[in-house]
């Protein structure tokens, strides 16, 4: 459009010059004709220059000045000494609270405004995608105090039914009194913890969800005055296909009896094989069809997810049955939970679990079971423990980190070994939660892993509405990927071919359905005020990282030398036009 305007002005100017020159030449009085021709040409040229934006490139030495960008969390008092600086913001709420700030539509508009000026960021800093758009612009960051509240949090996004939801994080307390953190789910208080110390404290809340499906719990901060929401905790609980368990018993004991009752109450498919004599066995079946247990073969054992027994019961197997058990573990992933038995001879199941006497052992001790960091009710540990060696994973320890249950990989399966033989004492004392937690941890760790094609999508960060959401997908091959029916492009990881990353912009908070080649999954988007402390901490870390990577050495000088496009002042052309027209008028008046 600018090029067309230039041609129009030149065309009109040439035509006007020809007409005016013709009129001057045709005049009867030819006095001062040369001067009149010069005046006409000057007048039309001046008029054309007024209509056209004339610019030229030249060197300019200018003062860099200072530009201030306000972000969430800025302190108004920190701006009192910056009265002469231009102030901008990208946040509508900041614009409403601080009217002196000019609202910008995006980072690109800010970079166009800089022209070499110093950029000073006040508040909690910028989101990573905004920092990426800054390019190589050096920045001076002015953080406005310490972030209060929850500054980090972590919890499992996917659970199996019966598994605990463990919420861990860090909380910065600036109040003089204690603060209570409350975990709520389905309008019920699931767990709580008091933060009594000032400064940064770790917190841990645990509960076992009672329902399956997509759930959203919340973490609340309760003070003497208010109850404030910290953020949402979305997760999915998948129903568990009941495991088939084979219990081996060489002789009746309380541990086997109570475990049998608990497994049946929990809905496990249970088969019990008890040795009555060398040539005779008895079998019992609960929640599963009957199968022959007279002789254990690889085919029979492959129908079970876990085999449980003490060392005596495993030693009672003949050579063929022992070989079949090893094959089931190595090739088909069947798991084993073995209990130590001091009366039994050394077994191949104990090779990676050397048992030792505990020096200065207490008669009873609280236990730390799996991921549940809360100590259990005290239990007599029997004065024995497992010596820690490589390739074993601790599952249960006492309060002094003495190992009482551990697991190890054996081919495609897992072996779990424990020295405890009296966990039924918990059940007798009414401590069903401790009993259930202990055996759930051991059985779930040992159980045969199912081969599922269900693709999980991991959200690499807490994603908010109207901001780019980063997703990580683990799948060998992906044909199409959609979120809420909208196709989303994927980028394959260069080093890990089965990992894919995606970025999309969610418009609404809550659950969003993802489709990966027809397989359904879910992702969650948080509201604008959810986990505000965590978002602020991430912005601060990201901004400091950007500052460290982009040195501000060129901000030391107060003046810069640069090539700029300069506009020719139109005042000169107005003066020329006025002078030419005045001459033509006077000459015509007095001739």
Q: For each of the chain's 591 residues, which pLDDT tens digit applies?
A: 556 777 788 888 888 888 888 887 787 777 777 888 888 888 888 888 888 877 766 554 444 567 889 988 888 877 776 666 788 888 888 888 888 888 888 887 777 767 667 788 999 888 888 888 887 788 889 887 778 889 999 998 888 887 889 999 999 987 777 899 999 998 899 999 998 888 889 999 999 898 989 999 999 999 877 888 999 999 999 887 788 999 998 888 899 999 999 999 888 999 999 888 777 888 999 999 999 888 899 889 999 999 999 998 898 888 899 999 999 998 888 999 999 987 667 778 888 898 888 876 566 888 888 766 667 888 888 888 899 988 889 999 988 888 999 999 888 889 999 999 999 999 999 988 889 889 988 998 898 876 554 556 777 678 888 888 888 887 777 888 889 889 989 888 888 887 888 888 888 999 999 888 888 888 999 988 899 888 888 889 899 998 888 765 544 444 444 555 667 778 888 888 888 888 888 887 776
The CATH T-level fold of domain 457-525 is Immunoglobulin-like (2.60.40)
> Which top CATH class is 149-239?
mainly beta
Q: Is 481 helix (H, G, I), strand (E, B) or coil?
A: strand
149-239 and 244-446: identical CATH topology: no
Query: What is the 8-class DSSP label of residue 464?
Result: B
Output the CA torsion 87→90→94→96 (10° steps). 90
d(CA 49, CA 106) in angstroms, rounded, equals 36
- Which of these, 345, 295, 291, 352, lies nearest to 324 by C-alpha position? 295
pTM of the model: 0.60
Q: Determine the pLDDT at residue 1.
A: 52
- Which of these, 345, 335, 284, 334, lies nearest to 312 by C-alpha position? 345
- Which of these, 308, 302, 303, lies nearest to 262 by C-alpha position? 308
Query: What is the 8-class DSSP label of residue 568?
Result: P
Write out the DSSP string of 179-240: EEEEEEETTEEEEEEEE-SSEEEEEEEEE--SS-EEEEEEEEEE-SS-EEEEEEEEEEEEPP
Q: Is 495 helix (H, G, I), strand (E, B) or coil?
A: coil
CATH code for the part of the protein at 244-446:
3.40.50.880
- Which of these, 450, 439, 384, 398, lies nearest to 416 by C-alpha position? 439
Burial class (CB in 10 A: 0-12, 13-18, 19+), 567: exposed
Task: Assess contact for 217 and 185: CB atoms under 8 A.
Answer: yes
Give the full edge-to-edge strand order of the sheet including 165-173. Answer: 149-154, 165-173, 199-207
Q: Is 540 helix (H, G, I), strand (E, B) or coil?
A: helix
d(CA 525, CA 462) in angstroms, rounded, equals 8
Would you kindly state where each structural domain of the chain is located, as residue ranges?
2-54+568-590, 62-138+550-564, 149-239, 244-446, 457-525
Query: How far lies 260's CA from each of 41, 183, 264, 293, in Å?
Result: 111, 34, 6, 17
52-57-62 Cα angle (round to 5): 115
Tokens 């052992």 belong to residue: 361
Output the CA torsion 344→348→352→357 (10° steps). 10
- Which of these, 511, 484, 513, 489, lies nearest to 500 by C-alpha position? 489
Task: Assess contact for 543 and 72: CB atoms under 8 A.
Answer: no
Query: What is the 8-class DSSP label of residue 431?
Result: -
Q: Are strands 499-504 and 490-492 parallel, antiparallel or unpaired?
A: antiparallel
Q: Determine the pLDDT at residue 557.
A: 42
Burial class (CB in 10 A: 0-12, 13-18, 19+), 406: buried
Q: Which two tokens stand for residue 473?
A: 């997908």
Q: Which residues share a beta bridge with 417?
A: 338, 406
Distance spanning both ends of the chain, measured CA to CA: 44
Task: Assess contact for 443 and 243: CB atoms under 8 A.
Answer: yes
Q: Is 544 helix (H, G, I), strand (E, B) or coil?
A: helix
Query: What is the 8-class DSSP label of residue 79?
Result: G
d(CA 358, CA 280) in angstroms, rounded, equals 38
Q: Determine the pLDDT at residue 235.
A: 93
């Amino acid at each position: 459009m600018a090029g067309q305007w230039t041609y129009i002005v030149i065309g009109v100017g040439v035509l006007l010059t020809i007409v005016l020159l013709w009129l001057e030449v045709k005049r009867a009085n030819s006095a001062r004709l040369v001067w009149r021709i010069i005046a006409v040409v000057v007048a039309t040229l001046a008029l054309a220059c007024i209509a056209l934006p004339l610019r030229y490139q030249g060197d300019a030495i200018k003062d860099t000045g200072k530009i201030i960008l306000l972000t969430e969390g800025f302190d108004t008092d920190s701006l009192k000494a910056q009265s002469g600086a231009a102030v901008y913001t990208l946040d509508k709420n900041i614009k409403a609270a601080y009217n002196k700030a000019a609202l910008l539509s995006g980072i690109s508009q800010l970079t166009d405004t800089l022209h070499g000026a110093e950029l000073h960021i006040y508040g909690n800093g910028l989101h990573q995608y905004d920092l990426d758009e800054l390019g190589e612009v050096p920045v001076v960051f002015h953080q406005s105090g310490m972030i209060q509240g929850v500054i980090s949090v972590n919890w499992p996004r996917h659970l199996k039914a019966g598994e605990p939801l463990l919420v861990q994080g860090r909380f910065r307390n600036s109040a003089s009194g204690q603060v209570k953190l409350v975990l709520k789910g389905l309008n019920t208080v699931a767990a709580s913890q008091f933060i009594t110390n000032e400064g940064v404290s770790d917190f841990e809340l645990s509960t076992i969800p009672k329902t399956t499906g997509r759930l959203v719990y919340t973490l609340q901060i309760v003070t003497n005055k208010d109850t404030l929401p910290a953020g949402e905790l979305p997760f999915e609980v998948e129903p568990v296909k009941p495991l088939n368990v084979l219990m081996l018993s060489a002789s009746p004991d309380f541990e086997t009896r109570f475990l049998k009752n608990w497994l049946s109450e929990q809905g496990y498919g249970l088969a019990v094989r008890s040795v009555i004599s060398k040539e005779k066995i008895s079998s019992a079946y609960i929640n599963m069809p009957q199968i022959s247990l007279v002789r254990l073969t690889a085919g029979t054992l492959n129908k079970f997810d876990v085999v449980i027994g003490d060392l005596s019961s495993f030693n009672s197997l003949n050579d063929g049955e022992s070989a079949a058990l090893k094959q089931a573990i190595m090739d088909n992933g069947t798991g084993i939970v073995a209990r130590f038995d001091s009366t039994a001879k050394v077994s191949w199941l104990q090779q990676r679990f050397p048992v030792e006497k505990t020096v200065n052992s207490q008669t009873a001790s609280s236990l730390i079971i799996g991921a549940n960091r809360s100590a259990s009710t005290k239990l007599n540990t029997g004065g024995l423990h497992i010596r820690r060696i490589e390739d074993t994973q601790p599952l249960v320890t006492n309060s002094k980190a003495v190992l009482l249950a551990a697991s190890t990989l054996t081919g495609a399966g897992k072996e779990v070994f424990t020295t405890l033989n009296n966990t039924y004492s918990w059940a007798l004392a009414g401590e069903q939660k401790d009993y259930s937690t202990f055996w759930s941890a051991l059985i779930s760790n040992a159980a045969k892993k199912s081969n599922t094609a269900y693709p999980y999508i991991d959200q690499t960060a807490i994603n908010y509405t109207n901001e780019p959401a980063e997703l990580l997908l683990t799948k060998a091959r992906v044909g199409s990927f959609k979120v809420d029916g909208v196709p989303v492009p994927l980028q394959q990881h260069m080093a890990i071919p089965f990992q894919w990353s995606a970025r999309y912009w969610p418009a609404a908070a809550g659950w969003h359905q993802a489709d990966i080649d027809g397989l359904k999954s879910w992702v969650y988007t948080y509201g604008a005020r959810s986990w505000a402390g965590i978002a602020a901490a991430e912005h601060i870390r990201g901004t400091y990282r950007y500052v460290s990577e982009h040195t501000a050495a060129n901000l030391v000088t107060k003046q810069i030398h640069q090539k700029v496009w300069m506009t020719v002042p139109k005042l000169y052309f107005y003066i020329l036009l006025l002078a030419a027209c005045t001459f033509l008028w006077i000459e015509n008046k007095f001739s």
